[in-house]
Amino acid sequence: MSIKTSDVEFKLRIRQQIEDPIMRKAVANAQERIGANRQKMVDELGHWEEWRDRASQIRDHVLSNLDAYLYQLSEKVTENGGHVYFAKTKEDATRYILQVAQSKNAQKVVKSKSMVTEEIGVNHVLQDAGIQVIETDLGEYILQLDQDPPSHVVVPAIHKDRYQIRRVLNERLGYDGPETPEAMTLFIRQKIREDFLSAEIGITGCNFAVAETGSVCLVTNEGNARMCTTLPKTHIAVMGMERIAPTFAEVDVLITMLARSAVGARLTGYNTWLTGPREADNVDGPEEFHLVIVDNGRSQVLGSEFRDVLRCIRCGACMNTCPAYRHIGGHGYGSIYPGPIGAVISPLLGGYKDFKDLPYACSLCTACDSVCPVRIPLSKLILRHRRVMAEEGITPKAERRAIRMFAYANSHPGLWKVGMMAGAHAASWFINGGKTPLKVGAIGDWMEARDLPDADGESFRSWFKKHQAQEKKNG
């Protein structure tokens, strides 16, 4: 898989999602639950806006000094006995990972949840080479069995209910137990444990890398990342080049914000710190450690007007509050990065050709701006995408023509007046009893669910002029 998850046309895709009651109920329930828990944790921490300011400052500082921190990180990882590879493209990254796997004669790879590995499509590359890849995050494991892409950056199977999950387990693994979360989790745990014990390589993402020490931070709720980095002899960590913190002091702030924003918890269940391969006196850990630092378009974003999006710590808070995401779910976006953050980052990493519709999958309500723990101005960045597409002529020709006509009429008062009068008369012809026979495209869908006020053929301008004269007459 790469960043694009669907070839279905955008309008058809969102219609399919809107007509899926199970997905909509599951997402709505998750948004309500996580939102309530988040608010409790925010209130408990106190001074939340100051915490947001500090987290934003940390991320901005890193982005402004990224070259220095990448160099420091690389030096420290190498000093600790690890290997560092800078991947300019996703192809460079997957090629290196495949070479490491083949050099170890690996037959099986266990993997913890990682958005950047989804982004570069490492699973498909390894599988095409005959290497079995096992996702060990509970949600990702279920989706892998069902050949279904993730729909949330933190809760990948947010769109499924327990009955659907039981069906997947029954069809793929012969599970015949109850549909209770506890029973199904125990069943999956037993299956994955066998894979942990037999895998030659463990692949993880990296929530944050610490430049000062060369350490990698992994945040999970299930502890699977510890198994991926403890039992296999080789550990490969993959990170976006921007996911660095200068010292542990900054990571402390970022993890505090991440857990509260992502799932409404003080901390996630497991916070794992790894600093190089196993040393002689260690009882466990990998014998070999590789850190793959992925660019894949981030350098261009860093030097652009969209730079602020690289502050993102992948908490998913914007998705948990977004009304558009609530109705169309993650799959409606057709990208591994859905929601408001996906509407910004997907066109940057995947191009406007595939993702030109995403900046318009937004009501600009700014709810995402208010919850982002690192203060990314998502609504402004979404508007910038719209402006860029308009300037580059990417928007539909009919839309550009309509906007030009509107702008011309708007700058010529006489023409505007005539147009308003004609529009008022037309409205009186085509609106009857709150309904109209003219139902075209999105406007038709909008009118289908609303009663329009009856029109009497009079424009507001003439109505106002008449009533103003009447008031003067009445004195």
Helices H, strands E: what count in the chain?
23, 10
Residue 326 has pLDDT above 90, yes or no: yes
Edge-to-edge strand list for the sheet holding 108-111? 83-87, 288-294, 234-240, 201-204, 108-111, 132-135
pLDDT tens for 254-301 read 999 999 999 999 998 899 999 999 888 888 889 999 999 999 999 999
Q: What is the percent of the chain where pLDDT is above 90?
A: 79
What does the DSSP assignment read for 411-423? T-HHHHHHHHHHH
Domain 52-301 annotated CATH 3.40.50.10420: yes
Q: What are the boundaries of each domain within the chain?
A: 52-301, 397-474
Residues 235/238/239/244 CA torsion (nearest 10 deg) = 20
pTM score, whole prediction: 0.89
Q: What is the pLDDT of residue 400?
A: 80
Is residue 216 within a helix (H) or strand (E), and if so which, with residue range? strand 215-220
Q: What is the pLDDT of residue 437?
A: 66
Q: Collect all residues with Cβ–Cβ distance below 8 Å to 109 and sequence separation of at least 6.
A: 101, 126, 131, 132, 133, 134, 199, 200, 201, 202, 203, 232
